[in-house]
Amino acid sequence: TKSLKEAVAEVVPEKQEQLKKLKAEHADAPLGEITVSHLLGGMRGLKVMLWEGSVLDSESGITFHGKSIPDCQKVLPNADQIGGKGKEILPESMLWLLLTGKVPTPEEVKGLSQELAAKGKLPDYIEKIIDSLPKTLHPMTQFATAVAALNHDSKFAQGYSQGLKKADYWKPTLDDSIDLIAKLPAIAARIYYNVFGLGDGKQAIDSSKDLIANYSEMIGYGDNEGMIDYLRLYIAIHGDHEGGNVSAHTAHLVGSALSDPYLSYSAALLGLAGPLHGLANQEVLGWALAMQEAVGGGEASEEKIKEYLWSTLKSGRVVPGYGHAVLRQPDPRFTALSEFCKTRPELRDSSIVQLVQKVSQVAPGVLKEHGKTKNPFPNVDAASGCVLYQYGLTQFTYYTVIFGISRALGALPQLVMDRALGMPIERPKSMSMDSLKAFIKK
Ligand code: FCX
């Protein structure tokens, strides 16, 4: 059985060769025209980043090394296959796929799970930092603070300061990345304890359990099979969404300055904390609960839901959980989470889950009539929070933290690849309006 590091070491020369060929044969091939509206429009659609783990198609949604979410659900090992209990994709399996492009065997996943368990304990100083933060500080700010502070022990930063060769940069980057992924659940659990006083505050790790079974135990859900498997699925499928989204792009950008993985991922978390990105799952739940109060739960009529949607839009707000910068169809991640709800009676019968599903049928029509958004369909955030709520995790300022455990599965593998491929510091050209005008006149 291979370790993840051995599996990555096999892939690195293949990727380096692929890049060499691409440069030699196609360096000057055009990838489209850049217009002023690209510059003014958040660079939508510009093909200007290399991202190996996943590709997002506007119609069919995300694929991870060519595999759709249903494909991954079929082939990636679950907890049942490694001696635990559960049918959903293990985040460890997704991490392996994202890093290597290969489907791991159950034995490889078990080995990775054990490696993560062995590295998951937090150093004392990190617990102290979290405990010293005010309970009123947003959990995402606490998360980014603790992750940045782990750079105290970065192998990459240490190696770099000691003159590490460029060809070897990827090795300590991978060590740091695995170490960080191993510690994210304990950081998240410690924040839960600091802010809400929930969980036992010990963050104990059982080496026979997978990453999320341990995390669930830490936040007080160790006996809840439904919640544990939901968290596995949620964390596996939120892992990567190609490179241009704010969190992934930020990790890549900051990492391009050779900031170590802790600093790069801390910056990514700060981007994830924005309401148009990861914070949307917190926003959705607040909004859906207010709607439930106003129109009723699963039994609410279509008419009432429509009225509520219009009142949100007329007040100048966006409907959270709807729309997407790239997708033009319902988000397959939304579909996967909705399918999960159908498999469990406690979710099928939940009033808030039923309301969220009903809204997903009504909102596209209203948003089309409203006529602004290019995509009237639900994105992943529309569905993710109501399940947590139903399972009793009602502290919705915490929801984006769970997203933050997940996004590392995609952002950090690309950082490893960036180092292995010797990608340069990112430095696009900016223009002032005056210089733009002068350029256009030429
Ligand atoms: N409700 C109301 N109006 C919306 C809307 C929505 N859900 N989505 C987009 N619009 C509006 C935009 O605000 C914009 O209006 P403007 O011209 O007055 O500025 C117009 O429609 C065109 O926007 P569009 O090109 O369709 O979307 P963008 O690429 O600019 O933005 C996001 C994409 C996701 C930011 C946008 O759809 C939005 O704000 N959605 C709600 C928040 C949300 O769910 N975010 C999570 C997204 C994702 F899944 C994630 O990153 O986690």
Segment among 92-106, 117-131, 165-179, 269-283 with least mean pLDDT = 269-283
How remote is the CA of residue 321 from the centroid of ligand 1, in Å? 9
Q: What residue owns the CA closest to ligand 1's atom 21?
A: 373
3-state secondary structure 399-410: HHHHHHHHHHHH
How remote is the CA of residue 277 from the centroid of ligand 1, in Å? 10
Would you place residue 282 in the very low, low, confident or very high pLDDT band (cuts 50, 70, 90)? Answer: confident
Q: Is the CB of 210 under 6 A from ligand 1?
A: no
Q: Is the CB of 152 under 6 A from ligand 1?
A: no
Q: Is the CB of 324 under 6 A from ligand 1?
A: yes
Would you place residue 297 in the very low, low, confident or very high pLDDT band (cuts 50, 70, 90)? Answer: confident
Q: Angle at the Cα of 426 (from 276 to 436), degrees rounded to 5?
A: 80
Q: Is the CB of 332 under 6 A from ligand 1?
A: no
Q: What residue owns the CA closest to ligand 1's atom 1?
A: 318
How remote is the CA of residue 373 from the centroid of ligand 1, in Å? 6
* Nearest in space to 214 (alpha carbons), one of 122, 137, 139, 140: 122
Q: Is the CB of 278 under 6 A from ligand 1?
A: yes
Residue found by looking up tokens 């190696």 in the block: 159
Q: Is the CB of 222 under 6 A from ligand 1?
A: no
Q: Is the CB of 373 under 6 A from ligand 1?
A: yes
What confidence score (pLDDT) does residue 408 get? 98
What confidence score (pLDDT) does residue 442 get? 82
- Ligand 1 atom with minimal separation from the 321 CA: 44
Find out whether 416 and 173 touch, Cβ atoms under 8 Å.
yes
Q: What residue owns the CA closest to ligand 1's atom 45?
A: 276
Q: What residue owns the CA closest to ligand 1's atom 2?
A: 318
Find out whether 58 and 329 touch, Cβ atoms under 8 Å.
yes
Find out whether 54 and 65 touch, Cβ atoms under 8 Å.
yes
What confidence score (pLDDT) does residue 260 get? 98
What confidence score (pLDDT) does residue 45 get? 92
What confidence score (pLDDT) does residue 298 get? 83
Residues recognised as catalytic: 277, 324, 381
Q: Is the pLDDT of residue 67 over 90?
A: yes
How remote is the CA of residue 374 from the centroid of ligand 1, in Å? 8
How remote is the CA of residue 372 from the centroid of ligand 1, in Å? 9
The residue-averaged pLDDT of 15-31 equals 98
What confidence score (pLDDT) does residue 142 get? 98
Residue found by looking up tokens 């808030």 in the block: 352
What confidence score (pLDDT) does residue 312 get? 97
| Domains, the chain, ordered by start | 1-26+54-278+396-423 (1.10.580.10), 280-390 (1.10.230.10)
The residue-averaged pLDDT of 411-422 equals 98
Percent of the chain's residues with pLDDT above 90: 96
Q: Is 152 exposed, middle or buried (0-12, 13-18, 19+ CB in 10 A)?
A: exposed
What confidence score (pLDDT) does residue 330 get? 92
Which pTM was predicted?
0.96
What confidence score (pLDDT) does residue 43 get? 96
Task: Give the Cα separation of 336 and 238 in Å (integer).
Answer: 11
How remote is the CA of residue 427 from the centroid of ligand 1, in Å? 27
Question: What are the residues facing 378 on neighbouring strands?
Answer: 322
The residue-averaged pLDDT of 182-207 equals 97
Q: Is the CB of 325 under 6 A from ligand 1?
A: yes
Sign, CA torsion 362/365/371/374: positive
Residue found by looking up tokens 């005008």 in the block: 437
ipTM of the complex, rounded to two decimals: 0.98
Q: What is the number of other CB atoms lying within 10 angstroms of the CB of residue 379?
A: 23
Q: Is the CB of 372 under 6 A from ligand 1?
A: yes
Token pair belonging to 193: 């304890």
- Looking at every residue in the chain, the average pLDDT score rounds to 97
The residue-averaged pLDDT of 32-40 equals 96
Our mutation pick for probing the ligand 1 site, out of 283, 310, 322, 380, counting the most ligand atoms within 8 A of Cβ, is 322
